[in-house]
Structure 1
Amino acid sequence: MRKDELLRALEGVLEKKTFAAQDAAPATPAAVLAIIHYGDSKPCVLLTKRRENLKMHRGEISFPGGRFTQSDLTLMHTALRETEEEIGLAFGPGDVAGALQPVRTMTSNHFIVPFVTVQDRLPKLRIAQDEVAGVLDAPLIETLGTMEPDREHFRFSKTAVRFKFESNVIWGATARILKQLHEVLIRPS
C-alpha cells in the first residue's frame, strides 16, 4: 500500500482534534503516537516493548506514549512529548495526521487518545532504557492480518482481539487501536 493510498484511507476516520485532558474525565488522560513509516517502501508501524520493572503494563507491547502532565497543552502534546522521551523521535503538531477513536484500558482506567503520523523515513532512535526494553518495527499490513480473538487475556469478552509480530503478542488497548487500523486498511466498508 502506497503512502498516498494509506493517507486517503485514513482520511475519513482520523479526527482533526488535539483533545483536552478534560475529554478523558473521569479516567486518567493519556495519549500515544502510532508511527507509520515507509523505510522499505511498504508501511511499517513502530511499537515499543515496555520494561518488565515498570509499575503498570510491564512487558507489554505498546505505542510510544503515556500520561498527560500539566505541562502538556493537549493530549496531542502528551503523545509527542512521550514519543520523544521514550524513543527520541521529535515530531511537531504538523506531523500528526489526526486521531483515531480513544480507547480505555481495562485494568488501569486510562483514557488513551491514539494519534497517527505517517512518515517517509525515520531518523535514528534514541531509546530510553529505563522505560523501553526494545522497539519493534512491524510491517503494518502483515501485522494487521494476524488479528484473532484474544481468549487468553479476556476470556469473557467476545470482542477482544490480539495481533502477533514475530514472537510478540499485542493485546489490550494497543490491540484495540490496531483493530481500528485493521477496519480501515484491511476491511474497508
Structure 2
Amino acid sequence: MVGILIMMTRDVVRAAVNLPNFDPTEAARTIFPDVTPEQRTPPPGMTPRIAAVLVLIYPVDGVLHVLLTRRTEQLRGHSGQISFPGGRRDPGDESFTHTALRETCEELGICEADLDILGQMTTIYIPPSNFQVTPTVAYIPALPSLKPSPDEVAEVFGFALPDLLNPAFKREEIWTLNGVRRPVRFYQVGEHKVWGATAIMLAELEYRLRAVLSG
C-alpha cells in the first residue's frame, strides 16, 4: 500500500481519467454484474434530464482524497443517499464542467476559479430518476472551509483515493429494494455505504487507475 500511496499523484489521476479506449461497462459490472452498454444510455424515446457532478480530488497529509456528500432527507430525488456534489444543468451552462462547478459552489461553497480540471469520465444514465449524468474530475491543492447548503447537504466527508484499490473496500449484502430482496454491491466508506450510480462512477475511476498503475 505504501507504494500505491507514492504512485497515486495528480498526474496519475489525470492520465487515468483521459485513458483512451477505456470500456466503462467492465467497471460497471463490478457493481451491477448484469449491466449492458445499452443500459448506460436512455431507452429509445426517453428524454433524460441532463446533470453533472464533480469528483473532487484533494490532498490530506500528502495522500489524495475524494470528496463525497450525503443528501438531505427532504430532497425529492435520491434523498439521504451518498453522492458527488452536482446537479441539473441550467440553460445558461456552457458545458457539463460548468454545471458541475456551479452546483458544487451552490452546495458546498467551493467556488475556486483555479481548480485543475483533470477531465471527464463516462456519462451514465440513472433509470429511477431519468437523469443522464456526466462526471467531471478536478483537483484542488487545499480544501477550503466548506459552507454546505442546509437544504441539500446533510454531511460532507471524504476517503483516501488509494482505498479504491483495496478489495476489502468493496462489499456485498442482501438488501430489500422496492419489496424485492437482492444482492447489492457497494463501497464501504467508514459508516457509509456508497451504492448505485455513485458506486458505478467510483468503479470506473478505480478501473482507470488500475489500468494506469499496472501499465
Give TM-score scaled by structure 2 length: 0.74
Q: Could you say if the C-alpha distance between residues 178 and 14 of structure 1 is closer, same or farther in structure 2, counting changes exceeding 3 Å?
A: farther
Q: State the partner residue of 2:16.
A: 9
Distance 2:105 2:176 in 1: 30
Shift of 1:76: 1.6
Distance 2:128 2:173 in 1: 16
Q: State the partner residue of 2:61.
A: 40
Matched position secondary structure for 1:52: coil
CA contact 2:69–2:157 (8 Å) conserved in 1:
yes
Q: State the partner residue of 1:174.
A: 198
Matched position secondary structure for 1:176: helix
The runs of at least 4 consecutive aligned structure 1 residues that moved more than 4 Å come to: 153-158
Q: State the partner residue of 1:55.
A: 76
Give the counterpart of 1:109 among 130, 137, 140: 130
What letter is aligned with 2:162?
I
CA contact 1:144–1:178 (8 Å) conserved in 2:
no
CA contact 1:65–1:83 (8 Å) conserved in 2:
yes
CA contact 1:144–1:163 (8 Å) conserved in 2:
no
Q: Which runs of 5+ in 1 are unaligned?
A: 16-22
Distance 2:10 2:21 in 1: 15
Bigger Rg over Cα: 2
Give the counterpart of 1:121 among 139, 142, 155: 142
Shift of 1:161: 3.6
Shift of 1:52: 0.9
Whose RCO is larger (CA < 8 A, sep 6+)?
Answer: 2
Q: Which moved more, 1:178-187 or 1:34-43?
A: 178-187
Q: Which runs of 5+ in 2 are unaligned?
A: 1-7, 23-40
Shift of 1:53: 1.3
Percent identical pairs in the alignment equals: 34
Q: Could you say if the C-alpha distance between residues 14 and 55 of structure 1 is closer, same or farther in structure 2, counting changes exceeding 3 Å?
A: farther
Q: Could you say if the C-alpha distance between residues 14 and 182 of structure 1 is closer, same or farther in structure 2, counting changes exceeding 3 Å?
A: same
CA contact 1:143–1:165 (8 Å) conserved in 2:
no
Distance 1:81 1:178 in 2: 21
Q: State the partner residue of 1:19.
A: none
Q: What's the C-alpha RMSD, in Å, of the aligned pairs?
A: 2.8
Give the counterpart of 1:135 among 144, 150, 156: 156
What letter is aligned with 1:85?
E
**Aligned pairs, how many?**
181
